[in-house]
Amino acid sequence: MALQASPFPNGFVATIHAVGWAFIVPCFWFLDRLIVFFGSIIFFILFLATAPLAFVGFLLWAPLQACRRPFHYHRETPSSSDKETHKGFELVGKASFGFATANLCLLPDSLARFNNLGHTQRRATAIGKHIVQGVCRPHICIFVDSPSSCGTLSPSSSLIPTINSSTYGSTDRPTQPPVAESTSAAVLNSNQNSNQQGRANHRSAPRALLSQGLCQQDTVPWEVSSLFPANVDILCLEEVFDKRAAQKLTRELKPVFGHILYDVGVYGCQPSCSCSSFKFFNSGLFLASRFPVLKAQYHCFPNSRGEDALAAKGLLSVKVLIGKCRNQRKAVGYFNCTHLHAPEGEGEIRCEQLNMVTKWIGEFQHANTQLDEDVVFDVLCGDFNFDNCSPEDTKEQNHCLFEGYRDPCRAGPGKEKPWVVGTLLEQPTLYEEEINTPENLQRTLEREDLRKLYISPPVPAVDSPLVYPDTGQPWIGRRIDYILYRESSISKQCRTEIEEMTFITQLAGLTDHIPVGLRLSVIMDSECADE
């Protein structure tokens, strides 16, 4: 049975909820403005004037959370049914799938500015347009031979109209236009259908990193790209807490991603009818998929603490329909996204949440896997709020989740692969010239000496001095945004290979995280497929 669009059981309840929320919004907005423009007497007066109306709205809104399903579902009717299916397995027995994740910090303006970001609504629209620009581009790569070049440039910036990348943060610092480079470029047209090309689209690493001998130590194809990877199939976003921002993102993304889950999470007293924990914000999770969503389930972490307890952080698991295999069995995939506890020094809480994630994923897949289906991928991604190089995060680095799910960037507990770049930017530097455009940020990430200035450094253990990096090893900043995949839970006749791992700079100036992408090639054994 298809998912229903509304999170409420009927139109009457949905209407009452909408009325209650409409009463709350003016007071909430004036409070947000009051914090942004601290000391403004006008916003203070308007806040007080709308507070009684907000109280009435709260009395209507709060009780209805007990019967609210924990997400909205938007489905865009495709012009052709073929656009929602994947012909790879049915025709050639192999297919390629692209995934991406990004933390967007789309909070109310007053809170986003604590992360040196602001103008949440404008950022949401700009982010949506940037993502669409990247994922809809031709699969083309340009190798720059100029001596001044730092490496491989993402090609499409010269082939697609550029979206205005003005900074929307709290610091209204003008964005410097990118400096035109005189280059002699060789263009490799790899605009092959990624659904049928397997590993043919591997990309080489940036020259600056190749010169350090980093790529030769590992077989994972990877790159730093100024655009989102072409043909992303499923996109997971974190910290989309603001409802209006989520609607703007949906509006921009729906022409490409026909199936979107947003406003994911619970509100009010949790558990219901108790006062143990009141959730002011949803989970912030936002999922956009090209494939139809067959099943979806959300779980809220019960062990949040401090400011994190105000948001309903948790796990969203979905089952998507890919199409059919050669043997006419259904091909399905599982995709999971999460956002773990944030404060440093509280690794025990994150480990407990990882235990829950492992348990909930297993239960979801056990309950929803059918005998007439072949599972072709099982992916887990999100903002884990710990990295694989900080001594402070040792507990999380050794969690058993990594025994099941594979991290392409990880050499072992506490040790990253040498080509990895961090994903958490230093917030005070977000608008400096070296990182305020996608192209500038790309060049910065490709140079170790510059990465040290703008990527958050590892966190030392309590009462222990930080000795980092080890002699002869590259400096790698905090990577807290992950895309993992698991092979033990997919169909036995399927083999998985990594086509590409991507660090994405297209959202420079729009968020304090660096998005990451993963493309997997799944090949079905021909003998098993024909059974």
Query: d(Cα 202, Cα 223) in Å, to the nearest integer?
Result: 10
Cis bond upstream, residue 343 (ω within 30): no
- How many CB atoms within 10 Å of residue 125? 16
How many CA atoms lie less than 13 Å away from 249 in the CB half-sphere? 30
Measured at the CA of 481, the angle between CA 475 and CA 483, to 5 degrees, comes to 110
How many CA atoms lie less than 13 Å away from 401 in the CB half-sphere? 26
Q: What secondary structure does DSSP assign to 394-430, as a single string?
A: HHHHT-THHHHSB-TTEEETTEE-TT----BB-GGGT
> And the tokens for 396?
């999380």
Q: 305-337 burial by CB neighbour count: b if 16+ within 10 A, else e?
A: eeebbebbbbbbbbbbbbbbbbeebebbbbbbb
Q: Where does 242-293 have alpha helices with state H?
A: 243-253
513 tagged catalytic? yes
Whether 467 and 473 have beta carbons less than 8 Å apart is answered as no
Q: Which of 119, 339, 399, 513 is catalytic?
A: 513
Strands, DSSP E only, in 6-161?
A: 72-75, 94-106, 140-144
Whether 423 and 100 have beta carbons less than 8 Å apart is answered as no
Q: Which of 332, 283, 288 is nearest to 311 (CA)?
A: 283
> And the tokens for 78?
């495709």
Whether 237 and 286 have beta carbons less than 8 Å apart is answered as yes
Going by C-beta distance under 8 Å and a sequence separation of 6 or more, which residues neighbour residue 395?
Answer: 347, 348, 350, 351
> And the tokens for 247?
């609607």
Whether 113 and 204 have beta carbons less than 8 Å apart is answered as no
Residues with a catalytic annotation lie at: 513
